[in-house]
């Protein structure tokens, strides 16, 4: 079995009476893409900061590629903070050079890496403009680039797409995909369930400082909802007495409306529709509903407000 890129063992951290991390343990394999989900205050940022060495653990251990996390071994980590941590009064190019220098990237390599980063973030044409003049999306891309200049094996991204438009979000996920293609692992925290569902290999849900779910999207859905699915149809005229397994969701008998019934498996879709057709119902629309990551998340963490 290969050594995990990151191993967290029994991590604990409390702030006053609040347990931000309560016996958290996890392993991240090489080249794995992981989404770390949780409500605000669940402990995501504390976990990221602990891995990065910015927050000390009260107990527990962190290993990187099998070695204890130290300032030296942490050089294989990249960090993209939630804040737009770039200097507004420096150009994109100057910011990249600055953080590259702090990561001790040599001059020759740094020049190449800066050029790569500018291309990667589509900021080449704006490289000599002050970061303060950038849009939110451009700053986010620059923020990410500053965290990966030193070619880390594992990148920690704390809400890298917060506050950006869909186009920029797509671009950022394109950038992360390109990183992954080169063998880089990453962990991102996000509240965007759809992008987590689409772009990661593994999802970890954390709440009250504890990991409460860990797996692929399918396995999490299966764990929370089993094979539950539903089929929803719209019809031109709702029959006076629909089949007993169907529920009327809108309209009334003789008028256009909607019907719904549960599905035990996707294989049963065809036979279920035949049931309606046999009763002379004309179907005008069809939707097979499956639980989403959002359903899983709300099911795990509850629907009540946290703040």
Q: Where on the chain is the footprint of other proteins (CB under 8 A)?
A: 49, 52-56, 71, 74-75, 77, 79, 81-87, 89-90, 94, 97-99, 101-104, 130, 146-147
Q: The tokens 């973030």 sit on which residue?
A: 121
Q: Cα–Cα–Cα angle for 83, 168, 189, nearest 5°?
A: 45
- Closest CB to other proteins among residues 47, 79: 79
Q: How far is the CB of 131 from other proteins (least distance, A)?
A: 11
Give how far the C-alpha of residue 70 lies from the chain's centroid of Cα atoms, to the nearest Å: 27
Q: Output the furthest CA–CA distance in the chain (Å, rounded).
A: 79
> Strand pairing of 247-250 and 257-263?
antiparallel
- Closest CB to other proteins among residues 30, 82: 82
Q: Give me the helices (H) in the chain, please.
A: 44-52, 92-102, 107-120, 136-148, 166-181, 193-199, 217-225, 269-278, 293-301
- 175 φ, ψ (degrees, to nearest 5): -65, -45
- Closest CB to other proteins among residues 90, 290: 90
Handedness of CA 40, 41, 43, 44 (dihedral sign): positive
Rounded CA-CA distance 99/117 in Å is 12
Residue of 245, 255, 250, 262 whose CA lies nearest to 281: 255
Q: How far is the CB of 56 from other proteins (least distance, A)?
A: 5
- Closest CB to other proteins among residues 93, 190: 93
Total residues found in the chain within this entry = 307
- Closest CB to other proteins among residues 49, 173: 49
DSSP one-letter code for 290: -
Q: How far is the CB of 150 from other proteins (least distance, A)?
A: 8
Q: How far is the CB of 110 from other proteins (least distance, A)?
A: 10
Q: How far is the CB of 198 from other proteins (least distance, A)?
A: 27
- Closest CB to other proteins among residues 104, 305: 104
- Closest CB to other proteins among residues 41, 256: 41
Q: How far is the CB of 186 from other proteins (least distance, A)?
A: 15
Q: How far is the CB of 54 from other proteins (least distance, A)?
A: 6
């Amino acid at each position: 079995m290969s050594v995990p890129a990151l191993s967290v063992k029994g991590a604990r951290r409390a702030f006053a009476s609040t347990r931000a991390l309560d016996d958290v343990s996890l392993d991240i394999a090489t080249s794995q893409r992981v989404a770390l989900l949780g409500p605000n205050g669940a402990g995501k940022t504390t976990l990221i900061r602990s891995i990065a060495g910015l927050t000390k653990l009260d107990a527990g251990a962190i290993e990187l590629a099998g070695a204890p996390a130290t300032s030296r071994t942490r050089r294989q980590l990249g960090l993209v903070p939630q804040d737009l941590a770039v200097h507004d009064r420096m150009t994109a190019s100057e910011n990249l050079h600055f953080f590259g220098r702090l990561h001790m990237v040599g001059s020759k390599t740094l020049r190449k890496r800066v050029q790569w980063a500018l291309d990667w973030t589509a900021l080449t044409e704006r490289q000599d403009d002050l970061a303060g003049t950038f849009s939110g999306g451009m700053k986010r891309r620059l923020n990410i680039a500053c965290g990966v200049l030193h070619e880390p094996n594992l990148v920690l991204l704390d809400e890298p797409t917060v506050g950006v438009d869909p186009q920029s979000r797509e671009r950022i996920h394109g950038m992360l995909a390109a990183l992954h293609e080169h063998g880089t692992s990453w962990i991102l925290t996000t509240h965007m369930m759809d992008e987590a569902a689409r772009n990661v290999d593994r999802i970890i849900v954390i709440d009250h400082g504890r990991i409460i779910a860990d797996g692929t999207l399918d396995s999490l859905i299966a764990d929370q909802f089993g094979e539950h699915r539903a089929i929803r149809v719209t019809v031109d005229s709702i029959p006076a007495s629909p089949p007993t397994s169907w529920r009327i969701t809108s309209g009334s008998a003789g008028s256009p409306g909607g019907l719904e019934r549960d599905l035990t498996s996707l294989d049963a879709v065809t036979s279920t529709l035949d049931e309606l057709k046999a009763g002379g119902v004309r179907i005008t629309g069809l939707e097979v509903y499956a639980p989403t990551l959002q359903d899983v998340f709300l099911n795990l963490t509850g629907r009540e407000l946290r703040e």
